[in-house]
Amino acid sequence: MGLNVAVLDYDENAVSIPFADKFYNVSTIDIDGVTKAAEDFKADGIMTLASDMPTRSVAKACEKLGLNSISFDTAIKATDKGEMIKAFKEKGVPSPWFFIAENEEKLEEIKHEILYPCILKPLDNSGSRGVVLVNDEKNLIESFKYSMASSRGAGIIIEEYMQGTEVSVEVIVWDGQTHVLTITDKLTTGAPHFVEMGHSQQSRLSLETKNKIIEVATLAVKSVGIKSGPAHVEIMVTKDGPKMIELGARMGGDCITTHLVPLSTGIDMIEATIKCALGEEPDVTPKFERGSAIRYFNTEKGIIKSISGVENAKKIDGIKEITFVKNVGDMADSINSSTDRAGFVIAQADTAENAVKACENAIEEIKIKTAKQ
């Protein structure tokens, strides 16, 4: 795109530094620091990609510098699960019942109103960190402490345990109009932590169900005030219809929007997000309709001793990428959050079903051996 790019990171050895025209050793959640760096760089646009944490800094800096972005109020609603679900309720967006507990005293006040099973999760975190299913009151305090350990201080949200089919909706908003690029089917570990272990596009749900999902996603995006930029909207399709889980005013992580969307639609969502940040109209027109998928490795707990079968897996038709974030000598943990996953496989095919099959065949081919300490 011919742009000069500045990168901000609190890590002075950040992996992004070699790709930047200028680097600022500034935390992305330091609002004043981000604003000063943007002023110094004379930025025409500021953005985060698939992380919730910098959203407030981006919004406030853009507000001060007169750049295109979501409002700071929208950034709050998109990063505080309590404010988010209140916005859903106010605008009539289908969503679960909920309670908020900032501490154990508040939990004690409301515990007799809680219905079981329920979900506990931090108000201010993502990536399944601190998410836990609670089946009865006797496990409530222990689960509260587990969830609070992943909170940055805001507290936790206690929600209805919604059962059904989980999807996400990948969105670009421009000039107040919501453009749904695709719907993503999800695979999770299930209870108690619901860590995402795979995604695929295009969704294999019925057209009628997909239309209902799009309707809920559009209402949710409008309810928090997103008028420009990306959104990643997570929805549970229950027996009563689609209900909101949560959303982010950003691109989806887990390679959903960086890899799967381009592979399934031909839309470059990164470029679209950059254009929104610059105040330029993004290209959201699908170029084709294919299937794409990602699957994560589910390793046994222990020290990784060997990884084999990778070269054979790469030869499987449709395999686009095989990546390990943990390697020989690293500790593989039980999967309680997205950070515990050892790596992933990405595939493209004529349909989502065949892309998933390619990923699963590659996962089967690759052997990750661990040894207990």
* SS3 readout for 220-245: HHHHHCCCCEEEEEEEEEECCEEEEE
Mean pLDDT of 310-314: 98
pLDDT: which is higher, 124 or 273: 273
Same domain, 272 and 298: no
For 146-175, the pLDDT digits (tens) are: 999 998 878 999 999 999 999 999 999 999
In-domain check, residue 85: no
In-domain check, residue 366: yes
For 259-272, the pLDDT digits (tens) are: 999 999 999 999 99
Same domain, 266 and 175: yes
Same domain, 211 and 313: no
Residue 125 has a pLDDT of: 78
Alpha carbon of 343 to those of 16, 269, 307, 322, 338: distances in Å? Answer: 20, 23, 11, 8, 10
pLDDT surpassing 80 at residue 224: yes
For 320-360, the pLDDT digits (tens) are: 999 999 999 999 988 988 889 999 999 999 999 999 999 99
Range of the domain at 19: 6-75
For 82-108, the pLDDT digits (tens) are: 999 999 999 999 999 999 999 999 999
Same domain, 147 and 176: no
pLDDT surpassing 80 at residue 40: yes
pLDDT surpassing 70 at residue 127: no
Is 177 in a helix, a strand, or coil? Answer: strand
Residue 118 has a pLDDT of: 96
Same domain, 344 and 327: yes
In-domain check, residue 197: yes
